[in-house]
Structure 1
Amino acid sequence: MKKVLVVLVILISSIYTLAINVIFLIGDGMSMNQLALASMLENKVLEIMKFSHTGITLTYSADSWVTDSAPAGTALASGFKTLNGAIGILPNKEIVYSMMELAKGLGYKTGIVVTCRVTHATPAAFYGHVMNRDDELVLAKQLSEADIDVIFGGGYSYFLPESKGGRRKDGEDLIEKMVKQGYRYLTKKSELDSIKDEKVLGLFAPSHLEPVTDRPAEQPTLDIMTKKAIEILSKSGEDFILMVEGSQIDWEAHANDFYGVWKEVIEFDKAVKVAIDFAGQNGNTLVVVTGDHETGGLSLSKGDYSILVDQARKAKGTTTMFLKKFKIEEKEKFIAGLKEWYGIDISDQEYESLRKTTTGELRRELARFVSSKVGFGWTTFDHTAAPVPVYAFGPGANYFTGVMDNTDVAKLIMKISGITTATFPKIGITGK
């Protein structure tokens, strides 16, 4: 009888702790309303919405109900709360390791795919340790020593010395250093085709990649980078962990630009499909999708029971793109442009109000104005404390249900995949 009980305990434990691949997709600034907006305008159910296991997460940081991306990323990467602005370091200055660092110590292949700088808050939470998220030159140094197998995103200026057109005042060429470590370095989308199974550093812009609505041909989309990353990481048959961020959903929501949010969510959703297609075929991969926080306080009406969905679907671009073509000082062209791009009319009073807006504020004031004309509302240009959804597919997906804290997402991923600190060597962190 005792032997039977022991066997049952072992079997139950093995169900909960598995050696599996993990693909963790994070939509920055994305909550349910951002997804619903994109679904509504696409007139279809998003891939994200097809997950059978869903939950809700609370996103507050250690010092505020409203988090920024640094502690939100830390919570999702490591399972610990920290202060707004801090990455991978607790309020008492203690370093905490991310699931990616722990996985690397256990022999996993690792990868990061983003459309922002690879030193930005969310990706940095998976390898970095700084009290101030703006210390991106320090984070670049830390990334160069993190031994991550696949790195795709932007921000090569943070890796280069000033003498080579970069931002580094210490004279270090971190790209050259990483090439000597065995990395293949890429700067163009076309170069992805030649990559097979080697370690790769793909930095496709000096800073962030351009928004998906206006991205040049040699900057890859998120789904293309995700597919290539999975191809490389899965080649050897070893377990891997990949973090993918839809980085710019947040920025379009900061601007209150419904069109930008729509298109960034769709780019992210395409990357989710890539992950699900692989996981469905592989059978040994956990896919988790969530947002790090909500941005903009997006509401799907102004309170009058109507959204002009058909009109919104015909929009021709973001307000950033619009303002490149139509100048606020050229009144007649500006007004005609709003009619052409968004199908909206503007009164003389509304025009004068926009015209008096300072240049730096015009984009978002115009975006909020355009949104209101088609029925979308916003409460802020910043983050909110709204809960965000979490979706899961694959081994252990059934645990991602109900209401949980964002730290629970990381803890569940690590527990299900068997990523622990048990055999993890001490990491030396530089650049403090």
Structure 2
Amino acid sequence: MRKKIWVIATISLLIIGSVIGINSTDTNAKSSNQKHNNGKVKNVIVLIGDGMGPAYTTAYRYMKDNPSTPQMEETIFDKYLVGMAKTYPEDSEENVTDSAAAATSMAAGVKTYNGAISVDNDKESVKTILEAAKESGKATGLVATSQINHATPAAFGTHDESRHNYNDIADDYFDDMINGEHKVDVLLGGGTKYFDREDRNLINEFKADGYNYVTTTEEMLENENDHLLGLFAPVGFPKAIDRKESTPSLDEMTSEALEKLSQEKDGFFLMVEGSQIDWAGHANDSVGAMSEMEDFAKAFETVIEFAKENEHTQVVLTADHSTGGFSIGRDGVYNFNPEAIKAAKRTPEFMAQKIIEGNSVEEVLSKYVTFDFTQKELKAIKDAASKDDFDTLYSTISEVFNDRAGVGFTTSGHTGVDVPVYAYGPKNEAFSGLIENTDIAEEIFGFLK
């Protein structure tokens, strides 16, 4: 009888392992890692795919699949899946979160209203895990492809009753100190227009306080200062496939942040945001979304490589919410065609801008897309171009790719679905199963004590 129970238990564990993507080799490696470092966490890296609901990571798997093999291959995300997180806010009027409330939950462990930047429902500031890290003597960093004072990075490093107070949030990065030091040692993202204003030049103030300031990939890679402000766009970056070499990838910024922060003997805290997965979702742009997913995946891979070399590093990756009601399959057709998305050399956003600037529809489409458009598709795009309205044209071009790929969207806003959670390091079990998004901050506060 005892042997029978053992066999049933073993089979059950194997089934569970196959479902969540854990095999015996992974488990042994994890146990060995925890034994080696006694489960201690020195460095914490949080990655947030803004808007990256479950359909985005699934679509990315389709995009990376090798069609010559019968089984769909794992992506860098799949290998580290540990659970799901609930995303709802504590808002008297809305029960689907925005990025500010969700980021506050993950940064401070507090549910709050939509639009709040690390303040509670009484609009009182709440301590963040970045601030706790700085108080404990760790180096700190924020990396994003939006403006660095956008909702998600802002919620980790500043406090404000409204996410839309961009100038005040930028000021907070400089003015709000801990033990006489600026809270964030490495700031990399967009937002020049908020840091260099008529009323205040924060760039010069940071430079006067010992920060190196960089504006290009080359300048960033040449930087040797462990206090760094990098602003690479007036607001947000172009989408990944639209960027010039002078604008760094998320991976390059993440690598730079890791190199500088890891010099601190007491460890570091780093938050990395794939910001514009969300922006593409709002625009119902599958090409832009998958471009941003690739950018985010490469940054995650770099973080995992770092964590494998430094076994006292805990990595957790999740999303703040899902955006757009993105679906794989549409109109009753049971098919998803990634090749239609891969046919775009630039995003529909980029193409629409080129047409608005005066380039012909045919010239732009033939230059940046590898498939031939049908007469119906061309007519729709030309009709949209004749209205001389960027948003209409962008939406029309996007819909051609969505339709060909078999991708659907239900909204231009957010949805309330649970989001995936991925982890690597000595404390993975803290993030497993179905958790509240506030649990992420609460667990990390524990690591930092």
User: Shorter-normalised TM-score: what interval?
Assistant: 0.7 to 0.9
Q: What one-letter code is carried by the residue in structure 2 that aligns with 1:76?
A: M
* 1:159 aligns to 2:188 (yes or no): no
The match for 2:415 among 371, 375, 384 is 384
What is the distance in 2 between the residues matched to 1:179 and 1:249?
32
Deviating more after overlay: 358-367 vs 73-82: 358-367
Count, aligned residues? 397
In the TM superposition, residue 227 of structure 1 has moved relative to its aligned partner by 0.7
Q: Tell me what 1:413 maps to.
A: 444
Q: Tell me what 2:49 maps to.
A: 27
Q: Equivalences for 1:231-270 in 2 at 5 Å? A: 231-270=259-298
Q: Tell me what 1:150 maps to.
A: 186
Q: Equivalences for 1:40-189 in 2 at 5 Å? A: 40-43=62-65, 44-51=73-80, 53-63=81-91, 64-145=94-175, 146=177, 147=182, 148-162=184-198, 169=199, 172-189=200-217
* 1:322 aligns to 2:322 (yes or no): no
In the TM superposition, residue 355 of structure 1 has moved relative to its aligned partner by 6.0
What is the distance in 2 between the residues matched to 1:156 and 1:72?
25
What is the distance in 1 between the residues matched to 2:368 and 2:222?
45
Instruction: Output the aligned Cα RMSD.
Output: 2.7
In the TM superposition, residue 314 of structure 1 has moved relative to its aligned partner by 2.4
Aligned partner of residue 408 in structure 2, secondary structure: coil
Overall identity of the aligned pairs, in %: 36
After superposition, the Cα gap between the structure-2 partners of 1:352 and 1:179, relative to the gap in structure 1 and judged at 3 Å, is closer
Aligned partner of residue 156 in structure 2, secondary structure: coil
Aligned partner of residue 157 in structure 2, secondary structure: coil
Unaligned 5+ residue runs, structure 1?
A: 1-13, 163-168, 420-432
Contact residue 113 and residue 151 of structure 1 kept, 8 A: yes
Contact residue 132 and residue 448 of structure 2 kept, 8 A: no
In the TM superposition, residue 198 of structure 1 has moved relative to its aligned partner by 2.3
What is the distance in 1 between the residues matched to 2:96 and 2:316?
23
Aligned partner of residue 178 in structure 1, secondary structure: helix
In the TM superposition, residue 309 of structure 1 has moved relative to its aligned partner by 3.0
Q: Equivalences for 1:172-321 in 2 at 5 Å? A: 172-302=200-330, 303-321=332-350
After superposition, the Cα gap between the structure-2 partners of 1:284 and 1:138, relative to the gap in structure 1 and judged at 3 Å, is same
What is the distance in 1 between the residues matched to 2:382 and 2:254?
45
After superposition, the Cα gap between the structure-2 partners of 1:345 and 1:127, relative to the gap in structure 1 and judged at 3 Å, is same
Q: Tell me what 1:39 maps to.
A: 61
Q: What one-letter code is carried by the residue in structure 2 that aligns with 1:188?
A: T
Q: What one-letter code is carried by the residue in structure 2 that aligns with 1:158?
A: Y
Q: Tell me what 2:7 maps to.
A: none
Contact residue 124 and residue 139 of structure 1 kept, 8 A: yes
After superposition, the Cα gap between the structure-2 partners of 1:342 and 1:257, relative to the gap in structure 1 and judged at 3 Å, is farther
| TM-score, with structure 1 as normaliser | 0.85
Contact residue 311 and residue 343 of structure 1 kept, 8 A: no
What is the distance in 2 between the residues matched to 1:265 and 1:335?
24
| TM-score, with structure 2 as normaliser | 0.82
After superposition, the Cα gap between the structure-2 partners of 1:282 and 1:367, relative to the gap in structure 1 and judged at 3 Å, is same
Q: What one-letter code is carried by the residue in structure 2 that aligns with 1:157?
A: K
After superposition, the Cα gap between the structure-2 partners of 1:215 and 1:310, relative to the gap in structure 1 and judged at 3 Å, is closer
Unaligned 5+ residue runs, structure 2?
A: 1-36, 66-72
